[in-house]
Chain A
Amino acid sequence: MAPAPSLDVAPTPTAADGTTPRPGRAIERAATLLALACVPVGLLLLGDGDALAGGAVLSLGTGVAIAALLARGRSEAIRDRDLRRAGISIWIEDWTEVGKVILSLRAEGRDVQAHFAAHPELFDQLHRTVRITDVNDSTLDFTGAREKSRLIGRLADVVPASAQTFERWIAAMARGDRVYRSESRVRRLDGELRDCLVTAVLPRDLEGFGNLLVSIIDISDYKADQARLAIIEREASRASRAATVGVLTASIAHEVKSPLAAVVTNAEAALRWLRRPAPDLVEAEAAIGAVVGDALRARDVVDRTRLLLTNAPHTPAELEIVDAIRSAALLVDRELRAADAILRVRAEPGTPRVMADVSRLRQVVTNLLLNAAQAMADSPRPREILIRAQADGEDVRVEVADTGTGIAPDRITRIFEPFYSTKEDGIGVGLAICRACVEAHGGRLWATSVPGAGATFHFTLPAAPA
């Protein structure tokens, strides 16, 4: 019946109506419950001392007050004043009507949760019966209300947002939970949103339902600290990525310097052959031919390693994996033919579509196919590459199997390192690029092999939502 100030508490408890509220008394009788309710809070503070140090909401004074309450235990002597001054917001609420329903269902041996599930209209009906009967002084500070009267009354009116969490309260009560605890956001009367920890010891009997004590602790500063920590962590991981890039850059420098050195040396050699008293044109021509080849190789290194580092936008789209693989395979058709390799692509029945970035998927498929073809260069025919896709939990798993030389166990993880190559003219970036592309999708890429009998590369991509 109190005119509703617009105070928004995402989760807030309530008490039943009916009985005339007797604020002072209610606070007193609830003292014991408060002591209990504060236990988890006290533990929380002790346990998280470090984390809270930067901006604990509960002052040391509050901790002392709680300790004092705990020490006095169930004593009747706990006076109003202690609760009024306690540094946390305390609400006394009357949930008698809720208690009646729950207790009678339980007495009849009925499944309380099932009953509420079958009668969802009960939530709204019961929500309107819960009343706030008393609040302490801290609650005034906390909510920004000037007088207590603005906070006393029907929960649904005083804290309209409590409708959102009412079901959670009922569920906890129906389950017979001892304690209700949740994090929520409370909008003060001045409009500011605060993060709060809401705690209550849930009642066992009707009297308890009539005097439900709810404590609300402002944890906004603590949350802010957490958020700052998360930012720092992100920064740190970016720094370690930068370190990886540094290592990579050094490797690239090395990879580029070799062909460059060959270019310079061959060019100088050519000049010397030409400057001889009797110029040796055959040698000079060979050296100049080598210059061209080395320069092309340097360009290749730059082009391909750039793929390792670029941050091309990741734009996944829904794809039919088999179609995508077949069209990517066309790009290396010439190489597959030259290697006399036969490619077969198939999907197990029920393979879902995938969410993938087409250009990255193309990189993965072409690099794996080239490697497979190169590994089978000396294999007896038929040289087959089999690509198989299948559902795997939330993912689609793709296997690329060849019948080539295979990979020794001690190399099976090293092959993914940038610039690891066993090939005369290999740069060693193919698999590093594949892995970066797959991981950009949140997937994994790994290899298995029976040395001498072939290698199989496996990767996962997220399935498109059904």
Chain B
Amino acid sequence: MCSSSVIAIVDDDEAIRAALSSLLRSLGYEVRLFASAESFLADSRASPDCLVTDIQMPGMNGLQLQLAIRNRRPRLPVIVITAFPEDAVREQAIAAGALHFLSKPFEADAIARCLSEAVGGAR
């Protein structure tokens, strides 16, 4: 348990943040929560092992966030979650380098699988 991976969660919806936090912690990850893309980018200490972000957010959206961090952390794995599962959005997210794309509501197993692929499992 000493070196658990750190997952950053960016979602403007407080209920989703809280739920993901509980779930990922139950899976053994350490989590950092951000209510907006801007606040994530502004936090210089935020150096997670994986980023889980919503797409639809006021201000900078999830796709823009992906592009913004591509320069800084080109190898940071990104998992996108959204309640708008349109193909166009999925393609854009994947094109911007997202590792996985999940539609809300998603099953815990699905995100657990994505995360272990992204960071090689928690421990």
Contact = CB atoms under 8 A, between A and B. Distances in A.
B26 A261 contact: no
Contacts of A249: none
A260 B105 contact: yes
Nearest to A420: B58
Contact of A287 (B19, B104, B106): B19
A264 B15 contact: no
Given A269-B26, A269-B108, A283-B22, A259 B15 contact: yes
9 contacts: A253-B83, A254-B56, A254-B84, A260-B105, A262-B13, A265-B105, A266-B22, A268-B108, A273-B26
A23 interface: no
A283 B25 contact: yes
B33 to A, nearest CB: 14
A272 B83 contact: no
Contacts of B20: 265
B15 to A, nearest CB: 4
Contacts of B81: 261
B14 A269 contact: no
Nearest to B54: A258
Nearest to B15: A262
A294 B56 CA distance: 19
A283 B26 CA distance: 9
B58 to A, nearest CB: 8
A290 interface: yes
Interface string A354-373: 00000000000000000000
B19 A258 contact: no
Contacts of B41: none
B16 A262 contact: yes
A262 B11 CA distance: 12
A266 B19 contact: yes
A257 B14 contact: no
A424 interface: yes
Interface residues of A, number: 29
Given A253-B83, A297-B15, A290 B22 contact: yes
B107 interface: yes
Contacts of B27: 272
Nearest to B58: A422
Interface string A146-158: 0000000000000
B104 A257 contact: yes
A262 B23 contact: no
B18 interface: yes
Contacts of B108: 264-265, 268-269, 271-272
Nearest to A259: B15
B103 to A, nearest CB: 8
Interface in B61-89: 81, 83-84
Contacts of B14: 424-425
Contacts of A270: 22
Given A294-B15, A297-B15, A261 B105 contact: yes
A293 interface: yes
Contacts of A273: 22, 26
A459 to B, nearest CB: 27
A263 interface: yes
- Highest count of chain B CB atoms <10 Å: which of A266, A270, A290, A294: A266
A276 interface: yes
Interface in B83-100: 83-84
A272 B23 contact: yes
A271 B23 CA distance: 9
A46 interface: no
A286 interface: yes
A102 to B, nearest CB: 74
